[in-house]
A = this chain, B = another copy of it.
Amino acid sequence: MATTNREVLLARRPEGEITDDCFAMRETPLAEPGEGEILVKNLYLSLDPAMRGWMRETKSYVEPIPVGGIMRGATISEVVESRVADFSPGDKLIGMNVWAEYSVVRPGGLRKLPDGLPLPLTAFLSVLGGTGLTAYFGLLDVGRPVAGETVVVSTAAGAVGSAVGQIAKLKGCRVVGITGSDDKCRYIEDELGFDKAVNYKTEKLVPALASACPNGIDVYFDNVGGDQLEAALTLINLKARVVLCGAISQYNSKEPPAGPRNILALLFKRARMEGFILFDYAPRFVEGVMELGKWVLEGKIKYREDIVDGLENAPRALRKLFDGTNRGKLMIRIAQS
């Protein structure tokens, strides 16, 4: 049984890109759970673009992580010691937690994995985790695609984008993905069944999108912001819906960049642009997990995972999200079960 714990702290706020010295590793004696608490061993840690926002000083939709505080993140964990009824050693839990080998938590923050889904543990952090649920609720609840419509998604080969595209296909839509390499284009067209991929690094965005969307764009699911949002707005149809899910192109900016020049397209097209934060859907997570799980078990939704070993590698791994070198949902394997 371990007697020490290792945690990753936010050592300083990044200016622009994340650097090594933004983080510090701390070793502490392993805490013991008090009454009503659970000691868990963290097995997997999810790494997500939103973490860049949590490292900022400005409040967004959650409190910023304080300098000197432990980094925040979703984990899959295993109960080691429980002082709460209904939780027993060996139980597998999921939820918002911290970058640490162990943590002492209260139930509520972490919850048990749902039964009846014979899938690897990591699936609950990837396709059935925050990224899959983001795709599920963001597309279906905010984007509201209708069969026959055209859905465009950015970061289409990423964990959220690839799920968005596949769900839109399941709903009978024409699906176009924007991504940043020919490899990724082939992946989403050939393996995930997107109708068309656009490489934003080698193609001219507006004409390429126009040719990929001969009937215009009904739903644009935006993970990127910036030029890609502006390009999509040039092609929106009447009553189109723009789901603002993220803006990874802007998270490293020191100054907020100018917005799209063509925001008036929303007016002319009576279109709706709406922001979306997964946390708001917490009461419906079980619904989303069960539905996504069914599709995954039926082979209708494919997913990839990019698993990096060792908590100490989390800071470096996080940067892969911003240079686009991760291949699938990025996570850290902190320990074996």
Q: Chain A: residues with CB nearer than 8 A to chain B?
A: 60-61, 225, 244-247, 250, 255-277, 280
CB closest residue in chain B, given A230: B259
Chain A interface, >50% SS class: loop
A257 to B258, CA, bound (A): 9
Distance of A250 Cα from B264 Cα, bound (Å): 10
Contacts of A260 in B (CB 8 A): 259, 263
Q: State whether B275 touches A270 (Cβ < 8 A).
A: yes
Chain copies in complex: 2
Docked Cα-Cα span, A271 to B225, in Å, equals 16
Chain B residue at smallest Cβ distance from A279? B270
Decide yes or no: A268 and B60 within 8 Å by CB, A256-B262, A257-B261, A259-B258 being known contacts: yes
A291 to chain B, nearest CB (A): 22
B272 in contact with A276 (CB, 8 Å): no
Q: Are A244 and B267 in contact (CB under 8 A)?
A: yes
CB distance from A248 to the nearest CB of B (A): 11
Q: Which residues of B contact A274 (CB under 8 A)?
A: 266, 270-273
| Chain B residue nearest in CB terms to A262 | B256
Q: Which residues of B contact A266 (CB under 8 A)?
A: 244, 273-275
State the Cβ distance, A11 to closest chain B Cβ, in Å.
25
**Do A247 and B267 form a contact, CB below 8 Å, given A256-B261, A258-B261?**
yes
* 22 pairs, A vs B, C-beta closer than 8 Å: A60-B268, A61-B268, A61-B270, A225-B264, A244-B263, A244-B264, A244-B266, A245-B267, A247-B264, A256-B261, A257-B261, A258-B258, A258-B261, A259-B259, A259-B262, A266-B273, A267-B275, A268-B275, A268-B277, A270-B275, A273-B273, A273-B274
A225 partner residues in chain B, CB cutoff 8 A: 263-264
Verify B261–A271 contact, CB threshold 8 A. no
Residues on the B chain within 8 Å of A245, using CB: 267
Beta-carbon nearest neighbor of A53 in chain B: B268
Q: Judging by beta carbons under 8 Å apart, are B247 and A256 in contact?
A: no
Chain B residues within an 8 Å CB radius of A259: 258-263
Report the bound CA distance from A51 to B61 in whole Å.
40
Residue of B nearest to A256 (CB): B261
Closest to A271 in B: B275
Chain B, residue nearest A60 (CB): B268
If A261-B256, A262-B256 touch, whether A276 touches B270 (CB-CB below 8 Å) is: yes
Known: A256-B264, A269-B275, A273-B274. 9 other contacts (CB 8 A): A60-B264, A61-B270, A244-B266, A259-B262, A266-B274, A266-B275, A270-B275, A271-B274, A272-B273
Residues of B within 8 A of A61 (CB): 267-270
Report chain B residues within 8 Å CB of A246: 267
